[in-house]
Amino acid sequence: MKNFKAWEIIEGFSSREKVLFRQFAGLEMVCREKYVVQLYDLLVTRAEDIPDNPAIFSALYPGESFNDSRIRYLKAQLFSLLKKFIFLQYPDMLFEDLAVFKHLREKKLMNLYRKEEQKCTTENKLVPPEKSMDYLHRYFRAFEWHNHNTKTNRIATAYLEQLNLNIDLFFIIEKLKLACTSHNLQRLYKVQVQTSLLEPVLVHVQSENLQEKHPLLAIYYHALQMLRTGDAGNFQRLKSLLFESDAAFPVDEIKDAWMLALNYCIQEINKGNTDFYKEALLFYEKGIENQILIENGYLSPITYSNAITVALRGKDYDSAGQFLERYQKNLQGEEQQEYYHFNLSKYYFETGNFEKVIELYYQSNIKEVLLHIQVRIIQIKAFFEMEEYEICRNLIDNLQQHLSRKDILAYHKENYRNISRMFRHLLTLNRYNPQSALNFLKKVEHVSPLTEKTWLVAKVESWVGVKRGR
């Protein structure tokens, strides 16, 4: 019985290849199913008279009732193991199946070659590509089949369309990804990055309407158009594609586009577009639920904090509180309690529960230096709101002592020193003197960096009814 695929490959092996494969299969890290190795040994020792499935079962499982599906499983596992072994013999090959095709050609196993080609062809029709590399993979498959068939048929053209389409799609998707990265770098760092051939590519995409036919291409097409034009329509199209496709594509394939959409929301929020508070929070929540914002099994404390900040800035206190509690468990180790207490302090302060902020002052034991400083700043503001000015002065002194540490970056030191200085000035300010208030506001406007500028300005304006610029 020689009509199964694993045996066809084994039969074509040289004596040396059989020995090498047996050594490979015997490695526990390669194969933990001992019966697969035993099946191989049985086949090699009985090469002249290959047993049928019942005989194989009796040899491997003496005394047990025949189970045909178990033997089929072992044969499939042996074939899979053989393909892995063959792949290692062709280090120049990017994909396992292409190494197998080359091996089958060289061994003149054309019957098995045709079976595998038909299997891959069916797979191409039934399984849509999940990542750009899938298009490259399909290109190389078609390239293999085209070259093989032209040796027997000089006018073979059956694979040319596949070759053109798949190499184009791979190139276009990667070009769009690169263009998104380049545009983002230009925005963040004010550097000029040239993306060659981008305009002809976009013209081709639009003329062929490729963004309507290929979802992965569409994701990065609309991401790029969103970055270039700032148009909310492209953002909404990108959002729809991402939310529809988050289960269809691997996380690594759409994570960059997800972050571009999220950053667009933050930019719109910073422009004063309040509609985007909910949009950003939705991207945070779905990004965590679908593992897109999870790294090495954990949620970044920065992402956790940013999402809560977005909800608080949008005055969506219910969502902020729910997010705070729901995703605390996704933080790693000590970060759980430290970042939970930090964000809980923010939550209590923004909801006007200053007593709770002060309770946390006595309860929290945050060791991370910058986080400790940020919590202290929230607590200074809470004590200020409760008119506990002497405690404010003591906390400001404590804050300045922390800033003497050498492990705090210069930017952070400058920012926190400015905050300390402005807080001290605020404590001495005559809130009933409009001119004094205006002078303070002008001073605050010119101090940079100063991350508490908004609170300082709002506090002074609320006292005397003045506005900046008057």
Q: In angstroms, rounded to a whole number, what is the distance separating the alpha carbons of residues 83 and 78?
A: 9
Q: In angstroms, rounded to a whole number, what is the distance separating the alpha carbons of residues 258 and 198?
A: 22
Residues in the chain: 470
416, amino acid identity: Y
Residues 6+ apart with CB under 8 A from 460: 426, 429, 431, 437, 440, 441, 444, 466
Q: What is the pLDDT of residue 195?
A: 84
Q: What is the pLDDT of residue 68?
A: 96
Is 298 in a helix, a strand, or coil? strand
Q: What is the pTM of this model?
A: 0.87
Is 330 in a helix, a strand, or coil? helix
Q: In angstroms, rounded to a whole number, what is the distance separating the alpha carbons of residues 124 and 135?
A: 10
Q: Contact, 138 vs 162, CB < 8 A?
A: yes
**C-alpha triplet 292, 298, 301: angle, nearest 5°:** 95
- DSSP H helices, 46-93, are 53-60, 68-88
Residues 6+ apart with CB under 8 A from 297: none
Q: In angstroms, rounded to a whole number, what is the distance separating the alpha carbons of residues 280 and 270?
A: 12
Q: What is the pLDDT of residue 470?
A: 39
Mean pLDDT for each consecutive 10-residue tract of the chain (470 residues)? Answer: 81 96 94 94 90 95 96 96 97 97 96 95 93 97 92 76 96 97 84 86 97 96 96 96 86 95 95 94 95 95 96 96 96 91 96 93 80 92 95 92 80 92 94 89 94 94 64
Residue 31 phi, psi dihedral angles, 5° rounding:
-140, 115
Structural tokens at position 326: 């729901």
- DSSP H helices, 190-298, are 198-208, 215-229, 232-245, 251-270, 276-289
Instruction: Identify which of 297, 374, 294 has the alpha carbon closest to the alpha carbon of residue 339.
Output: 374
Residues 6+ apart with CB under 8 A from 240: none
CA–chain centroid gap for 459, Å, is 40
Residues 6+ apart with CB under 8 A from 246: 254, 286, 290, 292
